[in-house]
Amino acid sequence: MNMIYNSTHYCVVEFQDATGQFGGFEIMDKAMRREMYLGGALAAHFRQDVEELIARETPAEEVDAFLARFDGLMHHPLTMH
């Protein structure tokens, strides 16, 4: 587990699978207190988008706007583990 982004509004954690390879992402909306997990092909596409954001040194406001596109898919309540 590796936190790759943390702002006032969102937090993104990258997970590895059992072999230590890339597994997926958990995206959390702090204001809505909701989260979602992306795995498989969606996670691979998300990872590519994130790499482009990092390469461009995108400001946090723009990263938050990018993550806001997933708000409608976040149905799981955010809970502490």
Angle, alpha carbons 16-5-11 (nearest 5°):
90
Question: Sorting pLDDT into bands at 50, 70 and 90, what band is 1?
Answer: confident
User: Domain ranges in the chain?
Assistant: 2-77
29-61 tens-digit pLDDT? 999 999 999 999 999 999 999 999 999 999 999
> Which are the contacts of 65, defined by CB distance < 8 A and separation ≥ 6?
none
The per-residue pLDDT for 4 is 93
Cα–Cα distance between 27 and 37 in angstroms, integer? 6
42 CB neighbour count, 10 Å cutoff:
14
Relative to beta strand 22-29, strand 76-77 is: unpaired
Question: pTM for this structure?
Answer: 0.88
